[in-house]
Amino acid sequence: MNLPTKKECLELLKKHGLSEKKIQHSVLVTKVAVFLARKFIKKGEKIDLNLIEVGGLLHDIGDSESEDKINHGDVGVEILKKINLDQKIINIVRKHILKSVLDDAPKTWEEKIVFYADKRVNSREVRIISIEERTKKWPNKFPKHKESIIEAIKIAKNLEKELFSHLDFKPEELKDLIK
């Protein structure tokens, strides 16, 4: 599988108009995702760290070109298809958005971990926060999708429980473990 390097990923983000804050968000999402993936690997799970890194960096590539932000994953998929990126990366980008858990939920460890890491990193202040803090304004921010967002947040919390059932620390300890 031929994947772009970290430098190439960052260049792609800039080329597609992501702000410096959004790039910092993607870098921290990647850091969280790689940290979690390494913990899973230590527990014996087979996880592709390169997929985690590239998926984490590129998960929001469609953000600046999406009109309503809620569908930026779909825009990102189209961008990545045009440059012939591997389908596994395209799936991570498609499934990182909150609504994906309602119809095309993350299935692989790589998809689940990048999805989860994104829900833990605030994009405005670029810091690790809880899922509750990250998502609390979303139902009112997108009133047309309020009910489905509330349902998706519940499913995201269940995914958090699934992930942390394999780990030896709690979700609230994550921010203190990542330096």
**Cβ(60)–Cβ(49) under 8 Å?**
no
Q: Which residues contact 24 (CB under 8 A, 6 or more apart)?
A: 126
Q: Confirm whether 15 is domain-assigned.
A: yes
The number of angstroms, rounded, from the C-alpha of 40 to the middle of its chain's C-alpha atoms is 17
Per-residue model confidence (pLDDT) at position 101: 78
Q: Confirm whether 1 is domain-assigned.
A: no
Domain count across the chain:
1
User: Could you tell me the two tokens for 75?
Assistant: 């825009």
Per-residue model confidence (pLDDT) at position 24: 96
Helix (H) or strand (E) holding 47: none
3-state secondary structure of 58: helix
CATH number at residue 19: 1.10.3210.10
Domain that holds residue 70: 6-177
Calculate the dihedral angle through the C-alpha atoms of 93, 58, 132, 137, rounding to the nearest 10 degrees: -90
Per-residue model confidence (pLDDT) at position 69: 60
Q: Confirm whether 97 is domain-assigned.
A: yes
Average pLDDT along the chain, 179 residues, taken 10 residues at a time: 90 92 95 98 96 94 67 75 90 82 89 95 91 89 87 93 96 93
Q: Confirm whether 36 is domain-assigned.
A: yes
Q: Which residues contact 77 (CB under 8 A, 6 or more apart)?
A: 62, 90, 93, 94
pTM of the model: 0.93
Helix (H) or strand (E) holding 27: helix 20-42
Q: Confirm whether 140 is domain-assigned.
A: yes
Q: Confirm whether 85 is domain-assigned.
A: yes
User: Could you tell me the two tokens for 21?
Assistant: 């804050």
Q: Which residues contact 30 (CB under 8 A, 6 or more apart)?
A: 52, 53, 56, 57, 117
Q: Confirm whether 158 is domain-assigned.
A: yes
User: Could you tell me the two tokens for 20?
Assistant: 């410096």
